[in-house]
Structure 1
Amino acid sequence: MVDNGSVVNLLQLSVIQKMGLESTIIRRAEVLTGFNGHTSTAIDHITLDVKTPPVVSKQTFTIVSDPSPYNGILGRPSLIKLDAVTSVKYQKIRFRIPGGGVGEIKSDQQLQQVDREDGAQADKIGWKPEEDAEDIILDPQQPEKTAKIGSRLSPDEKEELTIFLRKNRDIFAWSPSDMPGIDPKVACHKLHVDPTAKPVI
């Protein structure tokens, strides 16, 4: 799938496993947040040769293991590297061929129909973003101060991320009084009212 709005290229862990490359990755916790607030856990990054005939380019993918109807997503990094232009209306991608000429990739209409059916099935299940997150207490002395982490992380990843967040809990701002050093030029609340107007009671 091609997604002009994605700031990363994504690849499913199952694809890496089928390619026999799982032993080359180092598992680590990194949280990605989508447009709708859905969080995904990035496992690692991998650079692969991607063939868009006749061009072969090296593309870096973020590896995820969350359920998805797509094996991978080509985001803006790939489109920029390929110097590509997409057309939603014509379901095509065109890209510059070094040395002259324009390459073209057409969509698979039958595959799109399968994707739509998978998406409709996912809607019936009723996925909720909050089901993929759980609260952790950052400060035992102030249990009301919490943060959310992915519930699908492994126990080791949860422990590592929790320790990191607790160690750096001082960077969180819980109220305006926690940010006394911010220059008003950066953030300042103003009421744009006529100073000569009398208040109405």
Structure 2
Amino acid sequence: MDEEITFGPRDAAPLASGNHEAIVIDIVTNNYRVKKVYVDQGSAVDIMFYRVFKELGLKDDQLTLVRTPLVGFTGPPISLEGMITLMVTVGQAPKCRTVPVNFVVVKQSSLYNVFLGRPALNALRAIPSTFHLSVKFLTPGGIAEVHGYPEVARACYLATLRGQKKVIAQTTCLEPYIPGDEAQQLDTQDEVEEFPLREDRPDQVLRIGALLPAKEKEGLKALLREYSQVFAWSVDDMPGIPTDLAVHHLNVDPHFKPVKQKKRSFAPERNEVIRAEVGKLLESRIIMEVYYSTWLANPVLEDVR
């Protein structure tokens, strides 16, 4: 991580940079991708607005009391709801970094969800360029460059001029973040290509990026087919899993008396489904039949749509 960070002629400047737009990016925190994050080099604190705090599933009792008010260039001091430390990921794997950020939480209306101020930028050792509308910082995978969304910044600016702050602020700006899900992680709409894993099983289909280079795509297909045995399409593909590899047991205190549920009756078609699924598990030796005279749990059917 000793490379030099520079901005030069090779870094394309978006046309919007001529309009002096703000740098607005995305971050990942608390298993959510948070949009409309304002990179504010003029702020001495990192700010999260209370509505976003609640949408992230956080509770008021997680806040640390802060008595010092937030003071800006104009207007009266703003009281803080408190402070919370969250792990924040900026960038896209493998060029990304995760750092702890101390957010002060305020109950104010804003077109943005979060202000990343100097503390977060310094923790990332980030170098913003307002001309290029991007932020660069060092990562173990090399120099990461996070580009801003000038159209979002422009829309927020115009909404402010039109007095539409409350309308824009109420729009949904969070997305659940699933680690390893590239479509979610990169927030792209890349096309995918389906291909059968085995020629004799056309129903076993995997998906890979359609825009991969031809050589890389063929290599990936060959690798997946070589290790096709690791994919389980049904319980029939997982016979006799050794208990030293995986085992499921109920973590029940032996001092508690077992409870026998009242036997539940199912409709004939549901009984057939239960019988078939249990039969598959028995044939694959994933479960075994045992008898308990004092304990019983009814099967639960779930609708998967």
The alignment's TM-score, normalised by the length of structure 2, stands at 0.38
Number of residue-to-residue matches in the alignment: 123
Preserved CA contact (<8 Å) 2:47 2:106: yes
Is 1:102 the equivalent of 2:140?
no
- Cα shift at 1:69: 1.0
Question: Which residue number corresponds to residue 158 of structure 2?
Answer: 117
Give the counterpart of 1:32 among 26, 45, 70.
Answer: 70
Matches within 5 A, 1:95-174: 95-97=137-139, 99=140, 101-122=142-163
- Which amino acid in the other structure matches residue 43 of structure 1? E
Question: Which residue number corresponds to residue 51 of structure 1?
Answer: 89
Preserved CA contact (<8 Å) 1:41 1:66: no
Question: Which residue number corresponds to residue 266 of structure 2?
Answer: none
Matches within 5 A, 1:52-91: 52-53=90-91, 54-91=96-133
Question: Which residue number corresponds to residue 135 of structure 1?
Answer: none
| 1:55-107 deviation per Cα after TM superposition (whole angstroms, max 9, x unaligned) | 1111110000111111110000011000000101110100111x362111111
Large movers: runs of 4+ above 6 Å: none
- Cα shift at 1:39: 2.6
- Cα shift at 1:30: 3.8
Q: Structure 1 residues 112-121 or 7-16, which shifts more?
A: 112-121
Larger radius of gyration, structure 1 or 2? 2
Identity of aligned residues (%): 28
- Cα shift at 1:52: 0.9
SS of equivalent to 1:67: coil
Preserved CA contact (<8 Å) 1:31 1:39: yes
SS of equivalent to 2:153: helix
- Which amino acid in the other structure matches residue 119 of structure 1? T
The alignment's TM-score, normalised by the length of structure 1, stands at 0.56
- CA-based RMSD of the aligned residues comes to 2.1
CA distance in 2, matches of 1:75, 1:38: 20
- Cα shift at 1:20: 1.5
- Cα shift at 1:22: 2.2
| 1:102-159 deviation per Cα after TM superposition (whole angstroms, max 9, x unaligned) | 11111112211211112213499xxxxxxxxxxxxxxxxxxxxxxxxxxxxxxxxxxx
